[in-house]
Structure 1
Amino acid sequence: MLFDKRPVLLTGFAACLLGLLTSCANSSTGEALERSFAADPKLRNNSTTLGGSSQGNSPSQTTAKLPEGFPSEIPLYPEATLENVEPLTVPNAQGEQTSWSSADPIDAIQSFYKREFESNNWQITSQPTDEAGGTFVARRNGLQVTVTIPSSAATNNSGETSSAREPSTSGTSNAVTEFEIQYIRNQGEAASEQSGQDSSQSEVPSYVPSRSAGEAQDFTDLDKAPKELRQYIEDLATLGVLTVDSSGSKTNAGASGTTFEPNKTITRREYARWLVAANNQIYANRPGQQIRSASETTQPAFRDVPRSDRDFQSIQALAEAGLIPSPLTGDATAVLFRPDAPLTRENLILWKVPLDTRQSLPSASVDAVKQTWGFQDAAKVEPKALRAVLADFQNGESANIRRMLGYTTLFQPKKPVTRAEAASVLWYFGSQGEGLSAKEAQQLKREDAQPSETPTPSPSSSDEQ
């Protein structure tokens, strides 16, 4: 009977292998062998199987939504996506913590919140000391907001975070900046501050337009405007486009004029009002080019612009025409308009150019804008506005940016716009030589106002006899 040697050989091989692993347990050779037998981390982290779906991928398939009670006065970064919302349990207060992500760099997000808090009367109690990220703590009307932006040291090249509790950025080329916004509203303090505001505001008249749209305006301080932009303001004022708030500008005693304050930063609500008025006055004889006012009964597009808002019709009209980002255009993050926030240069162009071209904006890239405009800071322009900036270049000498800034190699997209600069942009509507200026609209208006001369009939031959 032959003896089968295979079991003996297998047993001997296993014993040798066990001895080798034991002897190399604490050596580099042993670690290499251990890694060679370890499971592929890509396969281990991917739980998707044939015929089923991965539970780990489910968060990317759902979009978080801001709760109904989220304060509208909290500034939201336009290019951020809401990832998560968690309620905070705070005695005698209301609060929530929201998590956000954006493809924009840390310094862009930090600059946005610094500008928003400073320009909207927030009391900043803490802020980052440099541009590498940090934490903002701001208070207003009993509302405390904490914005935590990651520091540059939060991630290294391997993608490891310095703290699991800190928001972080990805170490890959497709880096995503994650940050958190936490708010706490003290109900008692808010009521006290609000009552104090109400008593002080009762002495100041609420918004009253100095002139109605279409009625010529007489501004007494246009000598303070840059001389290159002065004529644009005068032409638009003649059309009655530049309605200003009586509560926000000074009326000259003993005179019929009002100050325009040309170097004052224009708000988003003012620009929306002027944009609709300028377009409709310049195209007064072309109903098909006009922006139709929104109905007073329509559902508001923005949570912070109710039907009772003084500029609801203008802002809502722009939203319904698809000229500004809103939930109506499919932008789920644009739930707030922030009407009293400063208007930035990139939004000025983003809202205006579609009314020049009257067609879809072209695709654009940072390199394309650099090659055409030569802007050194083209990478700082948000992707939506980048398309409008490129389309504006195609308008040649009639480009809005040229009319507003002249020659420049810096666009400074986040810089607030002055009233004079906004007027220069609104002076002309059209593209590639086909359009109308405010001066031309004045001439057409005068021609329409003049009564046509009725020819005197010549006497007939029978009358002469």
Structure 2
Amino acid sequence: MALKRFTTSLGLAAFLILPIAGCTNSPVGKSFQGAFEADPQLKDNGSAIGATQTPQPSPVAQTDQAQLPANFPAEIPIYPNRSLLEVDANQPNQGVLTRWSSQDKSDQIVAFYLQELQKNGWTLDGQPIDKTQGTFEANRDGLQAIVTVQSNSQPGTSAGFSIQASRTQPTQSASPSASVPQPGSPEFIGPMPQVAAPTSNSSPVASEPQTFTDLDKAPKELSQYAKDLTQLGVLSLSSNNKSGTSKTLFEPNKTITRREYARWLVAANNRIYTSRPARQIRLGVETSQPAFQDVSRTDPDFPAIQGLAEAGLISSSLSGDSTTVLFRPNAPLSREDLILWKLPIDTRQTLPSATIDAVKQTWGFQDAARIDSKALRAVLADFQNGDQANIRRAFGYTTLFQPKRTVTRAEAAAVLWYFGFQGDGLSATEALKGGARSNP
């Protein structure tokens, strides 16, 4: 009996549904359909299942391959659609360096940081001129963020960017003003105080050998290079050699800034080739039109930086690169710039053309595609220098160049220990002995 009543009810339900379904345009049909349609408010609600939400910056992405340190400053904005590739916390006095990738276009990342770093109390001390790549330098309440975006103009490639986060560490001193980073310190960020303009005979080369008490803290493969250059008096830690102060700590594993490397590069070349004036780099003079907007004539490192630009050894408007108007003197030096600035001085000729495949076949670098196109030529030319190649001397055998990685002071010293190409050159050791010609 119960089965009969159930069958009768089922048939009645089917009888009611079929006419309505067949008349979907009727008011009753539309009302019936509306009862089973999704609530349109739920479609517009970002919390609905399957809805696409606008990504928001957050300190950690759940899909990151690496682990972001817990002490990474939450104030620094992180691009939403990204993956964390690598964390380098071994940055003495330089905080932490993180490397990221994104499937979005690099110009979207540049636009994001241009917007985010111009609000919430950040002060932009430098920003890219190119909308697809470049470096931001921003400061906020003693926190420094250096964001470098790499272009992914080639189809199918990912955009990469890095974030260097560090906090200003006050220097311990009895003097109340010593807690503020002073000009010449790697932690100092302008503006520079108004001082007398350097004269044409000013030199970044120290006149006497230096004394450092911590050179033994450098990797043993690099310590001798730093010791030789110290004896030559070229590894000055202050831009002002007349300050009357002396530093006994070299901090060989500390990240070197772009201004320090420019100063040492000119000093090392000119001191090693002290008896060969034709190979020396002429310093910029106070009457020169500054090649960079952020390195004025009053900057203590203006002679060296301006001299490199006027010699065409670093890219600037003087060499025809109208987009390079900032030098970013206090930013960390990258490996690719380490080699790019040095090789033209080694070869004394135009760098050869280069391709990613050529670098892969010679050096065997797995990350050759990440090297900037300009630096690619220098990297290939460096391979042709055999055992005196700068890369071999500074980094040993490696299949990863890591072009955006920062450089330590000891690594920079290893590169600057020798100048020359394919047998025609001099080392710091030979310069100390009187400048005998080297035969690598």
TM-score normalised according to structure 1 size: 0.55
The aligned runs of 1:6-405 (5 Å cut-off) are 123-128=75-80, 129-130=82-83, 131-132=101-102, 133=104, 135-136=112-113, 137-138=116-117, 143=123, 173=155, 204=180, 206-207=182-183, 213-245=206-238, 258-405=248-395
Post-superposition offset of 1:246 = 9.1
- What is the DSSP-based 3-state SS (H/G/I as helix, E as strand, rest coil) of the residue aligned with 2:429? helix
Query: Kindly tell me: are residues 375 and 231 of structure 1, through their superposed partners in 2, closer, same or farther at Cα, counting changes over 3 Å?
Result: same
Q: In the aligned structure 2, how far is the partner of 1:429 from the partner of 1:203?
A: 38
Structure 2 counterpart of 1:339, one-letter code = P
CA separation in 2, counterparts of 1:324 and 1:431?
Answer: 19
Shift in Å, 1:280: 0.1
Task: Give the whole-Å Cα distance in 2 for the aligned partners of 1:176 and 1:404.
Answer: 29
Structure 2 contact 239–301 (Cα < 8 Å) conserved: no
Q: Aligned with 2:433: secondary structure?
A: helix
Gaps of 5+ in 1: 1-113, 151-168, 180-199, 447-465
Say if 1:275 and 1:426, in contact at 8 Å, map to a contact too: yes
Structure 2 CA distance for aligned equivalents of residues 401 and 173 of structure 1: 30
Kindly state the Cα deviation for residue 245 of structure 1 after the two structures are TM-superposed.
3.0
Deviations 1:416-456 (A, max 9, x none): 0000000000000001011000000001179xxxxxxxxxx
Distance 1:373 1:214, change over 3 A: farther
Percent of aligned pairs sharing the same letter: 60
Structure 1 residue 214 displacement after superposition: 3.4
CA separation in 2, counterparts of 1:171 and 1:394? 29
Tell me, in whole angstroms, the C-alpha distance in 2 between the residues paired with 1:341 and 1:414: 12
Quick one: which amino acid aligns to residue 337 of structure 1? F
Give the Cα separation in 2 of the matches to 1:268 and 1:382: 17
Deviations 1:24-61 (A, max 9, x none): xxxxxxxxxxxxxxxxxxxxxxxxxxxxxxxxxxxxxx
Partner deviation per Cα, 1:140-188 (whole Å, 9 max, x = no partner): 86536999x99xxxxxxxxxxxxxxxxxx999849898x9xxxxxxxxx
Change (3 A) 1:140 1:387: farther
> Given the superposition, is the C-alpha separation of residues 345 and 203 from structure 1 closer, same or farther in structure 2, using an over 3 Å criterion?
closer
Distance 1:170 1:415, change over 3 A: closer
Q: Report the Cα distance in structure 2 between the residues aligned to 1:271 and 1:382, rounded to whole angstroms.
A: 19
Task: Give the 3 Å change call, closer, same or farther, for CA 345–205 of structure 1 in structure 2.
Answer: closer
CA distance in 2, matches of 1:220, 1:312: 29
User: 1:335–1:122: structure 2 CA closer, same or farther, 3 Å change rule?
Assistant: farther
Letter in 1 for 2:182: S
Count the aligned residue pairs.
282
Shift of the 345–122 alpha-carbon distance from structure 1 to 2, 3 Å rule, reads: farther
Q: Give the Cα separation in 2 of the matches to 1:444 and 1:205.
A: 38
Question: Following the alignment from structure 2 to structure 1, what is the Cα–Cα distance between the partners of residues 337 and 289?
Answer: 24
Residue 217 to residue 378, structure 1, CA distance change in 2 (3 Å):
same
Amino acid at match of 1:268: R
Q: Which runs of 5+ in 2 are unaligned?
A: 1-67, 84-100, 133-150, 162-175, 186-203
- What SS does the aligned partner of 2:407 have? coil
Change in Cα spacing, 1:204 to 1:408, as seen in structure 2 (3 Å) is same
- Does the CA-based 8 Å contact 2:232-2:428 persist in structure 1? yes
User: Which one-letter code corresponds to 1:206 in the other structure?
Assistant: Q
- Name the CA distance, whole Å, in 2 between partners of 1:229 and 1:382: 26
Q: Aligned partners of 2:393, 2:157: CA distance in 1, in Å?
A: 36
- Cα distance in 2 for residues equivalent to 1:171 and 1:344: 21
Residue type at the aligned position of 2:387:
E
8 A Cα contact 1:214 1:281, kept in partner? no
Q: 1:142 to 1:221 in 2, by over 3 A?
A: same
Once the two structures are TM-superposed, the CA of residue 342 in structure 1 deviates from its matched residue by 0.4
Q: Distance in 2 between matches of 1:140 and 1:216?
A: 47
For residues 64-115 of structure 1, what are the alpha-carbon distances to aligned partners after superposition, in whole Å with 9 as ceiling and x for unaligned? Answer: xxxxxxxxxxxxxxxxxxxxxxxxxxxxxxxxxxxxxxxxxxxxxxxxxx9x
Q: Residues 176, 294 of structure 1: CA spacing in aligned structure 2 closer, same or farther, 3 A cutoff?
A: same
Matched residue, 1:407? 397
More helix by percentage: 1
Which residue pairs with 2:34 in the alignment?
none
Query: What is the SS of the residue equivalent to 1:124?
Result: coil
Q: Give the 3-state SS of the residue equivalent to 1:441 in structure 2.
A: helix
TM-score calculated relative to the size of structure 2: 0.58
Secondary structure class of the residue paired with 1:397:
helix
CA RMSD of aligned residues (A): 3.6
Give the corresponding residue for 2:418. Answer: 428
Q: Deviations over 1:304-336 (max 9, x none)?
A: 001011100000000000000000111111110
Change (3 A) 1:122 1:274: farther
- How far does the alpha carbon of each residue in 1:366-409 deviate from its partner, in whole angstroms, 9 at most, with x for none? 00000000000000000000000000000000000000011100
Distance 1:317 1:146 in 2: 24
Amino acid at match of 2:229: L
